């Protein structure tokens, strides 16, 4: 079995990994290099080609039988929208529904319907390659790792995963094979000190901060479903309503009745931060009945509002109805995003309104302890680090014999 890391080695995201046998070629993930920071931002085609990677050319020059998408983050799925002739695509059903709804919200056309969907631990066979998706915990829901078997070899691809979410890490580990020939392992947090806080621990921290604040805003990704649950539980503890904009509501409604959403949770409401014409308004608010709120209604309530950095004007509007000083903005994303222009401007703006900024976040990626636990369990002969800028950590820990730095490797 041949493994080719077309992209994703020594960088975080942009994964494109090929697995091939004599008879069959498949791809694992087709990601953009851009960070999926601002979900409402339109991705430009030129950026991808400028980065020296021509996905369309790769598809033209190879006869791939399938593409397996681990999860809906743009750094794993984003290239698909740019391709002209896609081979059959496989991904999670909910992952696809969320991907489609959010792309269409951004007026992007989704150019494929999956040839099949994943079910936890149920193999999909393509030619002489067998791929078993294993449900993984990550800051995107409906995410998977893959067990790839062919030519009497077993290779695991982690996709993005962690051990500190609400899913049980031990049961994930129990589904994994042992003594595998190789693992293509994400290492976003490789070499970083400290242990990831549990998603559930954030809940108490958030509730404490929410208790005495005027109003509460949470700057976060609308696609991070675990975090939506955390924010909801905290808001519930301090008896505040939760406000989700139409974009987040689109996502949470798709996730089903158990995830806080404006349709089935009586203390969750929908709003829009952007002006909409009548047609758009009725399209997005059709199912919400009395669960939608305008600014004036909102200003009268004690609330927790999930926001993104594009909401500056909307916050300004709320502030003019009722001053927001004494409010709290919970920053619940990766710390590094603070250096980005739009995020920085948004935080400065929040402060100028008299808001206090409090950081409450935990990573969507395995910390070193969990990486070690995982690697101990599957006991791989070779480790191919991807989605990391710290391959050195793997080398120091597991040695040059075991850790592969070549983009093409045969097991
Ligand atoms: Zn990723
Ligand atoms: Zn991800």
In which domain, by residue range, is 175 found? 2-192+364-410
**How many angstroms is it from 343 CA to the middle of ligand 1?**
20
pLDDT at 361: 97
Average pLDDT of the segment spanning 303-310: 97
Secondary structure (3-state) at 410: strand
**How many angstroms is it from 401 CA to the middle of ligand 2?**
29
Residue 355 CB-half CA count within 13 A: 27
Chosen domain end from 342, 359, 376? 359
Average pLDDT of the segment spanning 182-206: 96
Per residue in 338-355, pLDDT (tens digit) is: 988 999 999 999 999 999
pLDDT at 49 over 70: no
Q: What are phi and psi of 189, to 5 degrees?
A: -100, 15
Chosen domain end from 344, 359, 374? 359
**How many angstroms is it from 212 CA to the middle of ligand 1?**
36
For residues 272 and 389, state if they share a domain.
no
**How many angstroms is it from 275 CA to the middle of ligand 1?**
32
In b/e form, how buried is each residue of 262-291, taking b as 16+ CB within 10 angstroms? beebebbbbbbbeeeeeeeeeebbeebeeb
**How many angstroms is it from 73 CA to the middle of ligand 1?**
6
Secondary structure (3-state) at 59: helix
**How many angstroms is it from 14 CA to the middle of ligand 1?**
7
Average pLDDT of the segment spanning 231-243: 98
| Residue pair 30/411 in contact by the 8 Å Cβ criterion | no
Rounded Cα distance, 328 and 93, in Å: 36
**How many angstroms is it from 143 CA to the middle of ligand 2?**
8
pLDDT at 202 over 50: yes
pLDDT at 287: 87
**How many angstroms is it from 70 CA to the middle of ligand 1?**
9
For residues 312 and 257, state if they share a domain.
yes
Count of domains forming the chain: 2
For residues 175 and 204, state if they share a domain.
no
Q: Mean pLDDT check: name the lowest of 38-42, 49-53, 69-73, 315-319.
A: 38-42
| Residue pair 120/171 in contact by the 8 Å Cβ criterion | no
For residues 342 and 379, state if they share a domain.
no
In b/e form, how buried is each residue of 374-395, taking b as 16+ CB within 10 angstroms? bbebbebebbbbbbbebbebbb
Confidence of residue 40 (pLDDT cuts 50, 70, 90): very low
Alpha helices in 132-265 (DSSP H): 169-174, 199-211, 225-237, 246-254
**How many angstroms is it from 35 CA to the middle of ligand 2?**
10
For residues 100 and 217, state if they share a domain.
no
pLDDT at 50 over 50: no
**How many angstroms is it from 364 CA to the middle of ligand 1?**
9
| Residue pair 326/354 in contact by the 8 Å Cβ criterion | yes
For residues 266 and 379, state if they share a domain.
no
| Residue pair 13/33 in contact by the 8 Å Cβ criterion | yes
**How many angstroms is it from 3 CA to the middle of ligand 1?**
19
Per residue in 110-119, pLDDT (tens digit) is: 999 999 999 9
Rounded Cα distance, 16 and 311, in Å: 33
Rounded Cα distance, 33 and 51, in Å: 8
Of all residues in the chain, the percent with pLDDT exceeding 90 is: 88
For residues 59 and 169, state if they share a domain.
yes
What CATH number is attached to the domain comprising 244?
3.40.50.10710
> Could you say which ligand is closest to the alpha carbon of residue 95?
2
For residues 38 and 118, state if they share a domain.
yes
For residues 111 and 207, state if they share a domain.
no
What CATH number is attached to the domain comprising 125?
3.60.15.10
Which tokens in the block code for residue 137? Answer: 């915990």
**How many angstroms is it from 17 CA to the middle of ligand 1?**
13
Look over the chain and give the mean of its residue pLDDT values, rounded to a whole number: 94
Q: What is the pTM of this model?
A: 0.94
Confidence of residue 84 (pLDDT cuts 50, 70, 90): confident
For residues 175 and 228, state if they share a domain.
no
pLDDT at 53: 84
pLDDT at 252 over 60: yes
Rounded Cα distance, 358 and 248, in Å: 22
pLDDT at 39 over 60: no
Average pLDDT of the segment spanning 65-77: 96
Average pLDDT of the segment spanning 131-158: 98
pLDDT at 43 over 80: no
For residues 45 and 163, state if they share a domain.
yes
């Amino acid at each position: 079995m041949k493994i080719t890391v077309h992209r994703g080695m020594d960088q975080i995201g942009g994964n494109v990994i090929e697995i091939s046998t004599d008879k069959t070629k498949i791809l694992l993930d087709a990601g953009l290099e851009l960070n999926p920071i601002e979900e409402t931002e339109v991705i430009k085609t030129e950026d991808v080609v400028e980065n020296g990677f021509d996905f369309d050319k790769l598809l033209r020059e190879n006869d791939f039988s399938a593409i397996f998408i681990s999860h809906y983050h743009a750094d794993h799925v984003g290239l698909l929208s740019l391709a002209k002739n896609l081979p059959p695509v496989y991904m999670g059903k909910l992952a696809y529904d969320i991907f489609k709804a959010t792309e269409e919200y951004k007026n992007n056309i989704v150019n494929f319907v999956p040839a099949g969907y994943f079910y936890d631990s149920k193999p999909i066979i393509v030619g002489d390659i067998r791929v078993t998706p294993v449900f993984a915990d990550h800051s995107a829901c409906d995410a998977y790792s893959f067990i790839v078997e062919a030519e009497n070899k077993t290779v695991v691809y982690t996709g993005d995963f962690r051990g500190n979410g609400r899913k049980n890490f031990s049961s994930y580990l129990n589904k994994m094979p042992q003594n595998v020939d190789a693992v293509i392992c994400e290492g976003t947090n490789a070499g970083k000190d400290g242990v990831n806080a549990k998603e559930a621990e954030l809940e108490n921290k958030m509730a404490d901060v929410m208790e005495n604040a005027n109003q509460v805003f949470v700057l976060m990704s609308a696609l991070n479903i675990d975090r939506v649950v955390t924010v909801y539980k905290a808001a519930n503890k301090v008896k505040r309503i939760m406000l989700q904009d139409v974009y987040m509501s689109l996502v949470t409604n798709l996730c089903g009745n158990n995830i806080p959403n404006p349709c089935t949770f009586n203390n969750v409401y929908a709003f829009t931060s952007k002006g909409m014409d009548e047609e758009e308004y009725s399209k997005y608010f059709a199912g919400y009945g009395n669960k939608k709120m305008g600014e004036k209604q909102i200003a009268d309530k004690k609330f927790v509002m999930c926001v993104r950095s594009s909401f500056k004007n909307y916050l300004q509007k709320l502030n003019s109805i009722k001053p927001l000083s004494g409010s709290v903005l919970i920053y619940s994303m990766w710390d590094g995003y603070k250096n980005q222009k739009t995020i920085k401007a948004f935080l400065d703006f929040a402060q100028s309104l008299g808001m206090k900024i409090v950081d409450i976040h935990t990573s969507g990626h395995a910390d070193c302890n969990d990486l070690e636990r995982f690697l101990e369990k599957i006991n791989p002969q070779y480790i191919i680090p991807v989605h990391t800028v710290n391959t050195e950590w793997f080398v120091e820990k597991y040695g040059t014999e075991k850790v592969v730095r070549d983009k093409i490797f045969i097991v």
